[in-house]
Amino acid sequence: MEKNDIVDMLDKLASLRLRIQNGGGLAAEDVYAMVDILNCTNVVEDSILRRSLILLLESFCYRTWQSKEKLTRPMEDSCHVFVDNVIQKIGIHLEELQFEGNVILHVGSSVS
95: amino acid identity, one letter:
E
Number of domains in the chain: 1
66: amino acid identity, one letter:
Q
Q: Are 75 and 84 in contact (CB under 8 A)?
A: no
Low-confidence ranges of the chain (pLDDT < 70): 48-49, 55-56, 59-61, 63-77, 79, 90-112
**pLDDT score, position 73:** 53
In the chain the first and final C-alpha atoms are separated, in Å, by 37
What residues make up the domain containing 97? 3-104
In a domain, 38, yes or no: yes
In a domain, 53, yes or no: yes
Q: pTM above 0.85? A: no
**pLDDT score, position 74:** 54
In a domain, 90, yes or no: yes
In a domain, 28, yes or no: yes
In a domain, 65, yes or no: yes
In a domain, 42, yes or no: yes
In a domain, 56, yes or no: yes
**pLDDT score, position 104:** 46
In a domain, 109, yes or no: no
